């Protein structure tokens, strides 16, 4: 998501502005399958590393809906490289932009607000800086995107079968 498309409430503060909103409580969802909504998208560039050469990258912010367990947001990156083609296909299938086995030209401008299903895991990490540097923590991460559930046929009503 570019800075031009950020919601109106997302802004820089002036030195004399009033601030009032507390940060939401941190929610760590247990591992499982959850519905999600893409809340932000930004075009970026991955500079390359040991496993992947430089390529375009989509930076996503994804809101995970945990029902009565709460909600949380995770950052997720999609790398636009042939080595990640299966991961890209799974994401776009999950949000309904692609049917399994069919080619796709992604509609990037339609990502914000798109919904799908993902398997969410819990990862351990070591804090790198600040007063808690060296301590371990946990965070949610999307481990895979899941295809939308198959629509179930509604049971036929007796009057639909000509019984009446």
Q: Does residue 1 sit within a domain?
A: no
Residue 13 lies in a domain: no
**Residue 142 falls within a domain, yes or no?**
yes
Would residue 126 count as lying in a domain? yes
In-domain check, residue 133: yes
Position 1 pLDDT exceeds 70 = no
Domain limits at 118?
A: 25-148
pLDDT at 26 > cutoff 80: yes
Among 65, 70, 90, 66, residue whose Cα is nearest residue 78 = 90
Residue 2 pLDDT: 39
With a CB cutoff of 8 Å and minimum separation 6, the contacts of 71 are: 27, 63, 64, 65
Mean pLDDT of 148-164: 62
pLDDT in tens, 34-83: 999 999 999 999 999 999 999 999 999 999 999 999 999 999 999 999 99
Q: Is residue 97 part of a domain?
A: yes
> How many structural domains does the chain have?
1
Q: What is the pLDDT of residues 100-134, one digit of tens each?
A: 999 999 999 999 999 999 999 999 999 998 888 89
**Residue 130 domain-assigned (yes or no):** yes
pTM, two decimal places = 0.77
Q: Is residue 140 in some structural domain? A: yes
């Amino acid at each position: 998501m570019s800075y031009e498309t950020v919601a109106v409430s997302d802004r820089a503060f002036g030195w004399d502005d009033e601030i009032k909103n507390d940060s939401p409580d941190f929610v760590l969802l247990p591992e499982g399958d959850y519905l999600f909504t893409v809340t932000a998208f930004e075009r970026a560039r991955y500079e390359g590393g040991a496993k992947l050469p430089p390529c375009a990258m989509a930076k996503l912010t994804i809101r995970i809906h945990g029902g009565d367990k709460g909600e949380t947001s995770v950052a997720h990156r999609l790398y636009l490289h042939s080595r990640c083609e299966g991961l890209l296909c799974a994401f776009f299938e999950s949000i309904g932009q692609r049917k399994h086995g069919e080619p796709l030209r992604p509609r990037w401008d339609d990502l914000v607000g798109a919904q799908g299903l993902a398997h969410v895991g819990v990862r351990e990490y070591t804090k790198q800086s600040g007063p808690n540097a060296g301590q371990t923590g946990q965070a949610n991460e999307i481990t895979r995107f899941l295809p939308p559930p198959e629509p179930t046929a509604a049971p036929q009503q007796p009057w639909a079968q000509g019984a009446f």
